[in-house]
Structure 1
Amino acid sequence: MAFQVLPLAVTMVAGPQIMSAIILLTHRRVVRVSLAYLAGFALATVAGVALARRIAALLSGVLSLGDPADRGSAGTIIQYILVGLLLVAVVRNYLGRTTAEPPSWLGTLLGAGPGRAFVTGVLLVLLMPTDLIAMLTVGVNLEQDHAPPSAAIPFVLATVFLLALPLLGYLAFRQRVTAVMPQVREWMNSHGWLINIVVCLLFIVLILA
């Protein structure tokens, strides 16, 4: 898998994904629910990348995806289409910034058990447009390079590691993290639209680079 795909792991976790991980740090059973959340996210990422690779393989059976270095290849054009969708998302987030509200389900995570945390991790991968686009990009890249599914392991590990950073920080600096998390959570809730725009723009830069 091409090295430039690895930074897409950042877009997989930025937004509600990392916000959920931070909110869970204020749960009364932090470690248990956080690990369940990470497990669900990891499982969904593995399944999503595998499905994306399969979709890319089916597409290659209809048309040649070409070489990743060829800007005119079908695979690259597909990625340009994804960039267009991301630009639409950027405009929508900016226009709706004054009325944007954090998802109501974020506030309910504090009372969630491990089972619900696990399901939340799964759904945040399979239902988030940016995650779906990221995994499709990885799938197309794997198919263009004729790489085996195992080539996606670094991407999956990088994604899970980034999402685990809040929990790792909590375990290493529990008192400090506990003290600042309410302020961090409040800022992220009020600036969710900005986080979404930054994620989309980062994704666009990574694809076009």
Structure 2
Amino acid sequence: MKFLEVLPLVFVMIAGPQILSAIFLATSENWRRNSAAFVGGAAISITLVVTIAFSFGIGAVGQGASHTTLSAIVVVALSFAMIHTYRTRAESEPPRWMGTLESATPRFSFRLGFLLMGFFPTDILTSTAVGSYLAARGASLTEAIPFIGLTLLILALPSLILAAFGERAEIALPKAREWMNANAWLVNEIVLLLFIGMALNNLLG
């Protein structure tokens, strides 16, 4: 089934400030409404981008030599990005706006989910790739549902864990947040490595 081929891209979608935002909101003052609003905004924007890419076949072109050249350029560019991320790891910090999430409102959380998951560079590229991939292979748009659903489930996971485990989760989630804050560069490296793997797969395939 074609949707199984795009499921690994879920981890590209949520790696970095995306999952970190979900953890921050799960530890915010109004965490239930904030988390629900964040996931709701994400659901709309991801579905929108995937649907547009599927409908218009964005990225479905690029076969033969031009496709190979593009994939090679992407691998080189991402490799340099990984080197730069490692060399500047001591300076790596999460975006400043994350400091405001503990006092976020549901309206802000919804807007954050919509913009971050729909238009953050790695996410818009990934959602576009999923939509165009399914379109190019004659699949149904409904095969994007597992990709979208799993992405949303992982984003909702911090709040679901908090609802299920109560005080134990209240202790664990801040620790997870602090670890990701301290290791933001490592999260970035993982995302870049996933993209390199995708580009190599296109290049060699």
Question: Structure 2-normalised TM-score?
Answer: 0.85
* 1:37 match: 38
Q: Shift in Å at residue 123 of structure 1?
A: 1.3
| CA 1:58–1:136: 2 relative to 1, 3 Å | closer
Q: Shift in Å at residue 149 of structure 1?
A: 2.1
Q: CA offsets, 1:154-189, max 9 Å, x none?
A: 111111111111111111111111012222211111
Q: Distance in 2 between matches of 1:206 and 1:51?
A: 22
Gaps of 5+ in 1: 67-71
Mapped contact 2:3–2:144 kept (Cα < 8 A): no
- Given candidates 173, 179, 184, the residue that maps to 1:192 is 184
User: For this pair of structures, how many residues does the alignment match?
Assistant: 200
| CA 1:129–1:92: 2 relative to 1, 3 Å | farther
Q: Could you say what secondary structure the match of 1:7 adopts? A: helix
Q: Distance in 1 between matches of 2:4 and 2:65?
A: 19
Root-mean-square deviation (Å):
2.4
Equivalences for residues 92-111 of structure 1 within 5 A:
92-111=84-103
Question: Structure 1-normalised TM-score?
Answer: 0.84
* 2:113 match: 121
Which sits farther off after the overlay, 35-44 or 119-128?
A: 119-128
Percentage of pairs with the same residue: 39
| CA 1:77–1:25: 2 relative to 1, 3 Å | same
Gaps of 5+ in 2: none
Q: Distance in 1 between matches of 2:101 and 2:150?
A: 24
More helix by share: 2
State the AA in 1 paired with 2:127.
M
Q: Distance in 2 between matches of 1:30 and 1:94?
A: 34
**Pairing 1:7–2:8 present:** yes
Mapped contact 1:4–1:206 kept (Cα < 8 A): no
Q: Shift in Å at residue 108 of structure 1?
A: 0.3
Q: Distance in 1 between matches of 2:27 and 2:76?
A: 37
Q: Could you say what secondary structure the match of 2:89 adopts? A: coil
Q: CA offsets, 1:7-62, max 9 Å, x none?
A: 1011101110100111112112111100000001111110111222245x2565xx
Mapped contact 1:39–1:118 kept (Cα < 8 A): yes
Q: Distance in 2 between matches of 1:58 and 1:199?
A: 22
